[in-house]
Structure 1
Amino acid sequence: MSTHASYNMRSKSYYENDIKGTMKDIGGGKMVSSGTTPATSSKENFFIFSLVSLWYSSNIGVILLNKYLLSNYGFKFPIFLTMCHMSACAVLSYISIVFFKVVPQQMIKSRSQFMKIATLSIVFCGSVVGGNISLRYLAVSFNQAVGATTPFFTAVFAYLATLKREAWVTYAALVPVVAGVVIASGGEPGFHLFGFIMCLSATAARAFKSVLQGILLSSEGEKLNSMNLLLYMSPIAVIILLPAALIMEPNVVDVTISLGSENKTMWLLLLLNSVTAYSANLTNFLVTKHTSALTLQVLGNAKGAVAVVISILLFRNPVTVVGMAGYTVTVMGVAAYGETKRRFR
């Protein structure tokens, strides 16, 4: 749930495709478990624990850094900030795939496939920019509560696009997801209508991208794993965001240089923030590869709660019992939705 973080390139329903595509790298495509020793098992467990810790740190870190830069530091340029993130993702994705061979490079095979990736990039830009704008006005805790409603929008868009119905109990599980946000909104001391609308729009756009991705890149020859998709989407996003930032945030260059001259840590914060945004994507992919989509879902639900607690401790934003109760109801609804999807798929 990173801005919502919105930097995860695939929805949970498509994680299995990444796993299938990358498990071939392990044991020549075969799962060999009979020769696993206790020492090997301990190393694997430690590796997975370290990976999950880094994933948590990256996802929560990018949210908190976004909030600090946009609300507390005076850097009020969410479009330019998103462009910095995508620039880092473009460069680091290229290095990771071409030089370090994190995953095999998948090439774009047709003009049609490129246009589909460009369409996804535009929707993705909208979701990330909207999420960053909302952080200027909303506390991270409330931002995370609204972002947790992603499954609701995903279910709505999936039905509208494919007319495929889920089991009634699956839709019933979405009721507390929405009800929790309604409750949290009523108990949010720093509620801001514009910020709420932007956060809700970003959440809907994120869900729409996931559904659109499943439709546009559904053929076997056009499927891309999340790291290759990020490699091709990022430069397109930069091309879109650069003129948008210069037009909609006309003083961004002057203010950025001014802030950087007054405080040299400004450049370090921007660099750290951008690298962390890429790290959130990379670790998300690796955690999915080495665990499972279900594990990632459970960890993701817990991650949102951890982000809320840390943000309250750092930014001291006021919270109410009603607000926290609403967020809890939403998270429980998301967990129930995930479980019903697994049982009734």
Structure 2
Amino acid sequence: MSHTKDEEASIPLNAMPRASDVENDLTHGERLEVKISEGRAAAPAKKIVIPAFIIIPLWMSVSICVILYNKYIFSSLHFPFPVFLTTWHLFFSACATRVLQRTTTLVDGARDIEMSRDRWIRSILPIGALFSGSLILSNYAYLSLSVSFIQMLKAFNPVAILLISFAFKIQEPNARLIAIVAMISTGCALAAYGELHFELFGFICQCAAVAFEASRLVMIQILLHGLKMDPIVSLHYYAPVCAIINACILPFTEGLEPFYALHRVGLLVLFSNAAIAFALNVAAVFLISVGSGLILTLAGVMKDILLISGSVLAFGSQITALQVFGYSISLGGLIMFKTTGGK
């Protein structure tokens, strides 16, 4: 069932997390929506701070583990039910955030948000629906595409964000943004052209997931502008919505088959998989307070490179020199996009 930037209250679109990272990333993520809330009206509890040299490698490790673990379940354990797995992750996260709310200070940011019925219907519900679609489509892509190829395609996410922003006149195109769009698009095209095991269905699913995710991030910028929601608070609101939406979709997509196949994975795998996905969001809360935007961007790039390398070792994914060249171009555009604030 995303995908970490340290920005000001007015958050540029590139500072928000990708849903596929959240799930693969559940939110990833690499991805964070808004800076953690600072200051409380009443005397706040002292916040726990984990040093950067500990939390950055920890976040990278958990993020990589989530994606490889999901791929392992889909492929090696022969459990090809992404809607069920995403629904389970979201249900687990919805319960976990409420437990944390009662036992820790990690979800205290929810107290600062006035969540009226009207705001929930106009903002949380449609954004949650896009989040759900992004997670499901992204996980469907893992059924037929390699982890390495999907990570390369995810680099196109900033381009989708910019194109939607141009369409809604949130941002005006300029020479720098056009150069970024051209670099990332060219790199992704080369990576796709160099893929040895190209599957059209998986490619379409991943492209649709990128479109859903970009639309979600733009809607967050429009509808939730000014609200301060860290990854745990966001999950607190979105996880129940997404879990219910997915549960309604499940009978029409996978039916009862996932329940008949649960013996292939077992309870230990199900719970550990959901717990690791949720732990990624907890790690993200600590991550956003320890480094500058540039450091977190470079950490994200390094994480993607390690993930691609890990997929080659773990699943025998094959990558070509053309894909490496194309992805290098995309990374250059991605770093430009994030370090310039998407402007």
Q: Answer yes or no: is the 8 Å Cα contact 1:10–1:226 preserved in 2.
A: no
For residues 78-118 of structure 1, give each alpha carbon's deviation from its aligned partner in whole angstroms, at most 9, with x where no partner exists: 00010111112111212223311114133543112111111
TM-score, normalising length from structure 2?
0.85
Distance in 2, matches of 1:228 and 1:254, equals: 30
Give the superposition deviation at 1:336.
1.9
Residue identity matched to 1:142: F
Residue identity matched to 2:148: S
Residue identity matched to 1:66: N
Q: Indicate yes or no: 2:29 matched with 1:18.
A: no
Match of residue 134, structure 2, among 127, 133, 137? 127
Which is bigger in relative contact order (C-alpha 8 A, separation at least 6)? 1
Spell out structure 1 runs of 4+ moving beyond 6 A: 9-12
Structure 1 portions without partners, runs of 5+:
30-42, 261-265
Distance in 2, matches of 1:283 and 1:167, equals: 36
Give the superposition deviation at 1:166.
4.4
- Aligned partner of 1:309 in structure 2 is 309
Q: Indicate yes or no: 2:212 matched with 1:205.
A: yes
Give the superposition deviation at 1:300.
1.0
- Aligned partner of 1:114 in structure 2 is 120
Residue identity matched to 2:26: Y
Q: Which moved more, 1:277-286 or 1:99-108?
A: 99-108
- Aligned partner of 1:7 in structure 2 is 26
Give the superposition deviation at 1:223.
4.7
Q: Percent identity?
A: 25
How well do the aligned residues superpose, as a CA RMSD in angstroms? 2.4
Q: Answer yes or no: is the 8 Å Cα contact 2:77–2:264 preserved in 1.
A: no
Residue identity matched to 1:112: D
Q: Answer yes or no: is the 8 Å Cα contact 1:179–1:329 preserved in 2.
A: yes
- Aligned partner of 1:102 in structure 2 is 106
Please give the residue correspondences for 1:61-80 in structure 2 after superposition, counting only pairs within 5 Å.
61-80=65-84
Match of residue 231, structure 1, among 204, 227, 236? 236
Distance in 1, matches of 2:71 and 2:103, equals: 33
Q: Answer yes or no: is the 8 Å Cα contact 1:6–1:128 preserved in 2.
A: no
Q: Answer yes or no: is the 8 Å Cα contact 1:70–1:135 preserved in 2.
A: yes
Q: Answer yes or no: is the 8 Å Cα contact 1:123–1:209 preserved in 2.
A: yes
Q: Which moved more, 1:209-218 or 1:105-114?
A: 105-114
Please give the residue correspondences for 1:79-94 in structure 2 after superposition, counting only pairs within 5 Å.
79-94=83-98
Q: Indicate yes or no: 2:164 matched with 1:147.
A: no
Distance in 2, matches of 1:272 and 1:118, equals: 28
Q: Answer yes or no: is the 8 Å Cα contact 1:70–1:76 preserved in 2.
A: yes
Q: Answer yes or no: is the 8 Å Cα contact 1:173–1:333 preserved in 2.
A: yes
Give the superposition deviation at 1:8.
2.4
Q: Which moved more, 1:295-304 or 1:305-314?
A: 295-304
Give the superposition deviation at 1:310.
0.7
Q: Answer yes or no: is the 8 Å Cα contact 2:293–2:339 preserved in 1.
A: no
| Higher share of residues assigned helix | 1
Give the superposition deviation at 1:125.
0.4
Q: Answer yes or no: is the 8 Å Cα contact 1:9–1:226 preserved in 2.
A: no
Give the superposition deviation at 1:253.
4.1
Give the superposition deviation at 1:257.
3.4
Q: Answer yes or no: is the 8 Å Cα contact 2:183–2:332 preserved in 1.
A: yes
Give the superposition deviation at 1:10.
8.1
Q: Answer yes or no: is the 8 Å Cα contact 2:97–2:236 preserved in 1.
A: yes
- Aligned partner of 1:187 in structure 2 is 194
TM-score, normalising length from structure 1?
0.84
For residues 200-220 of structure 1, give each alpha carbon's deviation from its aligned partner in whole angstroms, at most 9, with x where no partner exists: 1111211111110111112x4
Distance in 2, matches of 1:172 and 1:129, equals: 31
For residues 164-213 of structure 1, give each alpha carbon's deviation from its aligned partner in whole angstroms, at most 9, with x where no partner exists: 31432122122111111110111111110110111111112111111101
- Aligned partner of 1:35 in structure 2 is none
Alpha carbons of structure 1 residues 118 and 131: separation in structure 2 relative to 1, 3 Å: same
Distance in 2, matches of 1:250 and 1:336, equals: 44
Instruction: Give the secondary-structure state (helix, strand or coil) at the position aligned to 1:101.
Output: coil
Distance in 2, matches of 1:186 and 1:94, equals: 45
Q: Answer yes or no: is the 8 Å Cα contact 1:174–1:337 preserved in 2.
A: no
Alpha carbons of structure 1 residues 257 and 306: separation in structure 2 relative to 1, 3 Å: closer
Instruction: Give the secondary-structure state (helix, strand or coil) at the position aligned to 1:341.
Output: coil
Q: Which moved more, 1:231-240 or 1:136-145?
A: 231-240
Distance in 2, matches of 1:160 and 1:301, equals: 28
Structure 2 portions without partners, runs of 5+:
4-17
Distance in 2, matches of 1:249 and 1:91, equals: 24
Instruction: Give the secondary-structure state (helix, strand or coil) at the position aligned to 1:136.
Output: coil
